[in-house]
Amino acid sequence: MTYDVVIAGGGPAGLAAALTLGRSRKRVLLCDAGPRRNAAAVHLHNFVTRDGITPAEFRRIGRQQLEPYAHVETREARIEEVRGTRGSFDVRLSTGSIKARRILLCTGMVDESPEIEGLGSLWGKSIFICPYCHAWEVQNRRFAYLATSLEKIDFALLLRGWASDVIVLTQGRLNVPDDVRARLKAGGVQVDDRPIARLVPASDGLEMERIEFTDGSSIERDVLFLHPPQHQIEIVTSLGLALDAAGYVQLDPVTLETSVPGVYAAGDLLAPMQGALIAAASGTLTAGVLNHALTVELAIEGLLA
């Protein structure tokens, strides 16, 4: 049996794509390997109708809403290798091998967290990437922004929309010109250049209490925002898909195919502007465009019921 589409990744993009393809009467296999990118987050926010849901509940509902579509199968499986060409792909899963006409990659991105002691246990609780997702819940607390480039340093001024006490941490690795410091200061943001030794949790272990520096001094902070570098999962690189200069998958603007014919992509792996609703919309759009081309092809070949 050949699947019409195999989807790699069961996050918002993959779930939305599976729904569109299921409703289009396509035979779909949705493979998800876990773990989820937002697994450490307590709640998912800024998704209309789902604001405040847990990430696990979001996925449970997504899977449940696929159940009426009998041609959509879901598997806890990792896609390990994709070979072949448009219309005839051989896909090796952690649970066996299958055939598919199209591949849709919804595998997200891998965050490269900076190696700072204490960061791992506070990730998703006091340490965040996206203020639209998490700043409301911690508004008016003591914020820090770990800046790694001058291009993004204005992000600290954006954070002033949620808190009056915001500092920028450069760890002494960014040469912040005087005029930029003056701009930040005018916006109520101080720059701190001390290198970080560790992030210290409060006694309950759930929230951050302070940031300790290598010189032994410290500053009380409740929240740290940062923009970690990201990379693609191995299958994206092994397929040799064309990436842009920042490492995101490039699509044909009309067909929404990647540079490998028959391989599509949706969600976080396309761009640095990321969010669950953006990923879901991307999955819906790509699945619709994919389905259109595939249905025309199957109709002409006499392969539709």
Ligand X SMILES: Cc1cc2nc3c(=O)[nH]c(=O)nc-3n(C[C@H](O)[C@H](O)[C@H](O)COP(=O)(O)OP(=O)(O)OC[C@H]3O[C@@H](n4cnc5c(N)ncnc54)[C@H](O)[C@@H]3O)c2cc1C
Contact 74, 32 (CB under 8 A): yes
18, 44, 82, 287: which one contacts ligand X (CB under 6 A)?
A: 44
Write the interaction track for ligand X spanning residues 156-195; mark x where CB under 6 A is met and - where it is not. ----------------------------------------
Q: Which residues contact 43 (CB under 8 A, 6 or more apart)?
A: 52, 53, 54, 55, 137
**What is the smallest separation between the CB atom of 214 and ligand X, expressed in angstroms?**
26
**What is the smallest separation between the CB atom of 103 and ligand X, expressed in angstroms?**
11
26/45 with CB nearer ligand X: 45
Residue 111, phi-psi category: left (phi > 0), alpha (psi -120 to 50), beta (remainder)? beta
Could you say whether residue 275 binds ligand X (CB under 6 A)?
Answer: yes
**Residue pointed to by tokens 């005018």:** 186
User: Which run of H or E residues covers position 100?
Assistant: strand 96-105
Contact 189, 157 (CB under 8 A): yes
Could you say whether residue 25 binds ligand X (CB under 6 A)?
Answer: no
| Nearest one of 139, 107, 122 to 226, comparing CA atoms | 122
DSSP label of 64: H
5, 19, 28, 41: which one contacts ligand X (CB under 6 A)?
A: 41
112/304 with CB nearer ligand X: 112
**Residue pointed to by tokens 């729904």:** 19
Neighbours of 191 (CB within 10 A): 17
18, 31, 196, 289: which one contacts ligand X (CB under 6 A)?
A: 31
Could you say whether residue 268 binds ligand X (CB under 6 A)?
Answer: yes
**What is the smallest separation between the CB atom of 279 and ligand X, expressed in angstroms?**
3
3, 4, 5, 12: which one contacts ligand X (CB under 6 A)?
A: 12
Distance CA 235, CA 77 (A): 14
Contact 106, 14 (CB under 8 A): yes
257/268 with CB nearer ligand X: 268
Write the interaction track for ligand X spanning residues 63-102; mark x where CB under 6 A is met and - where it is not. ---------------xx-----------------------
Distance CA 133, CA 135 (A): 6
Write the interaction track for ligand X spanning residues 216-255; mark x where CB under 6 A is met and - where it is not. -----------------x-x--------------------
Write down how long the chain is: 305
Binding interface with ligand X (CB under 6 A): 8-14, 31-38, 40-41, 44-47, 78-79, 106-108, 111, 124, 129-130, 133, 233, 235, 267-268, 274-277, 279
